Structure 1
Amino acid sequence: MYFRHASDIWSDFPGLSAGILHVEGIHRDASADAHIAGFEAAAKARLAASSEGEFPEIQAWRRAFSRMGLKPTQYRSASEALLRRLRKDGSLPRIHPLIDLCNAVSLAFAIPIAVFDLSRVTGHLEVRYASGSEIYTTFSGETEHPEQHEVIFADEEGRAHARRWTNRQSGYSAVGSETTAVLVVAEALHAGAATDVDRLVHELAGAVCAVWAVTPRSAMLDSSAPRFDI
């Protein structure tokens, strides 16, 4: 099993930086509240100075979505959606300690983070352009097919685990009460993304280690080293 971005994704988005965490030993009976509070406080401080739409991290994803033929105000990166919700509601709902932690880190860095239950992924997982035949399962259990040439996370069986790149994950491989092993993917396109993603991975790995007493494997990917073996 491995994770990678297809070569044409690197060619079309040369500013992409991606950070990976592979974590085993996850369980729901844990509290990440102290870490979550710190990351959320950092996000709120930044939002107090300017709206999320002014963040360079968010603007870079908006440009990418426009390039993919998507309206940035209709389809938003996951980090932008989280920041909008935090700004409007003041907090995020609790789902699972790992998801809550990753959401808080995403808020603090304004960088989208995807988390996949590896028991629900078949073979390799690749960020690539869709053929249109792939199967995507919504959180409500409905089946969709990505648009042709849409950027998706797809496994060896042709199941799409995320649509519109960083817009929406699938309910099929979402973290749940039985999840024990996950792959975490953070991606950014703004100037200085490599430095920020590297710091994100380091801080998230430290929080995961503290909360679950496990040691994640991590890596930074680029066009010359695009693959992470799981």
Structure 2
Amino acid sequence: MYFTHADAVWEAHPGLRAAVIAVDGVLGITATRAYQDKLLPRVEERLAAGGESAMPEISAWREAFSAMGLKPTQYRCASEALLRRYRKERSLPAFHPLVDYLNTVSMAFAVPVAVFDCDRVAGGITVRPAEGTEEYTTFQGDSEHPAPGEVVFTDAAGYAHSRRWTFRQSARSVVGPHTERALIVAEALHPSAEADLTALQQEITTVLGECRVRVGAAKLVRPTERRLEFFSAFPGEESTSEERP
């Protein structure tokens, strides 16, 4: 499998960086609540310092959404949406140990973090402008077609696994009780994105190792290293690893 961004995304957002982590053994994950609790003081510090829109990590995504013709107060990146909900309720609903932990990481770093069930993704994921023919499945079970030019996570079969880039994921590849292999993607656009994502990647790989999830491949995606191929990271699968600029 692979993960990459299309040239059009890099051209429009040269400051983009992404931490990409492929894992397996998710079925055996142990409880992550204690690790979430360790991150919550960082979340509280963020919220006490001011509104979400003033955070440089969030502000950069708001600018990107505006550049894409989206109203940032109508369509919020995933980390902003989580922080706003947590500010009001001081809790988040529980879905799955991996998802719950990554949601807390997303709030602590104020960076959108997506996670996909690899066995429900065809071939790999490319982040690119939509052609308008891609199929997106809502959490209500409906099918939608992203507007042409909208940035989406899409696979080799033409399924869109997100809408409006980091706004909302698809129900098609959501992590659940059946998930054994997953792809974690954290993206950032703010000036210190590379350093912050390096720390975020270290946080995730350390904790998941302690929770009995195997990290098979990890990469910091940047303009000079744009692609991760990771099937070779899993036992019993033919190696297809190849670095491409």
**Residue of structure 2 equivalent to 1:104:** 104
Task: Check whether the contact 1:117–1:179 (CA below 8 A) recurs between aligned residues.
Answer: yes
**1:42 correspondence with 2:60:** no
**Residue of structure 2 equivalent to 1:133:** 133
**Residue of structure 2 equivalent to 1:82:** 82
Calculate the aligned-residue CA RMSD, in Å.
1.0
Report the Cα offset of residue 215 of structure 1.
3.3
Instruction: Deviation per CA, 1:104-153: give whole Å up to 9, x if none.
Output: 00000000001000000001210000000100000111000001100000
**Residue of structure 1 equivalent to 2:227:** 227
Q: 1:216 to 1:43 in 2, by over 3 A?
A: farther
The TM-score normalised by the length of structure 1 is: 0.98
The TM-score normalised by the length of structure 2 is: 0.92
- Greater CA drift, 172-181 or 204-213: 204-213
How does 1:196-207 map onto structure 2 within 5 Å?
Answer: 196-207=196-207
Aligned residues: 230
Q: 1:54 to 1:36 in 2, by over 3 A?
A: same
**Residue of structure 2 equivalent to 1:62:** 62
Letter in 2 for 1:39: L
- The DSSP-based 3-state class of the residue aligned with 1:27 is helix
Report the Cα offset of residue 48 of structure 1.
1.2
Report the Cα offset of residue 29 of structure 1.
5.6
**1:211 correspondence with 2:204:** no
Task: Check whether the contact 2:26–2:213 (CA below 8 A) recurs between aligned residues.
Answer: no
Instruction: Deviation per CA, 1:73-97: give whole Å up to 9, x if none.
Output: 0000000000000100001111100
Report the Cα offset of residue 49 of structure 1.
1.8
Letter in 2 for 1:149: G
Task: Check whether the contact 2:60–2:190 (CA below 8 A) recurs between aligned residues.
Answer: yes
For structure 2, which runs of at least 5 residues remain unmatched after alignment?
Answer: 231-245
Report the Cα offset of residue 66 of structure 1.
0.2
Q: 1:6 to 1:29 in 2, by over 3 A?
A: closer
**1:26 correspondence with 2:30:** no
Instruction: Deviation per CA, 1:185-227: give whole Å up to 9, x if none.
Output: 0000001101001110110111111112523421011122110
CA distance in 2, matches of 1:216, 1:59: 32
CA distance in 1, matches of 2:14, 2:103: 26
Instruction: Deviation per CA, 1:28-58: give whole Å up to 9, x if none.
Output: 6620011001112211122112121210000
Percent identical: 48
**Residue of structure 1 equivalent to 2:162:** 162
**Residue of structure 2 equivalent to 1:189:** 189
Q: 1:92 to 1:131 in 2, by over 3 A?
A: same
CA distance in 1, matches of 2:184, 2:217: 10
Letter in 2 for 1:199: A
CA distance in 2, matches of 1:214, 1:147: 37
- Greater CA drift, 141-150 or 204-213: 204-213
Letter in 2 for 1:81: A
Letter in 1 for 2:53: G
CA distance in 2, matches of 1:81, 1:215: 27
CA distance in 1, matches of 2:155, 2:25: 23
For structure 1, which runs of at least 5 residues remain unmatched after alignment?
Answer: none
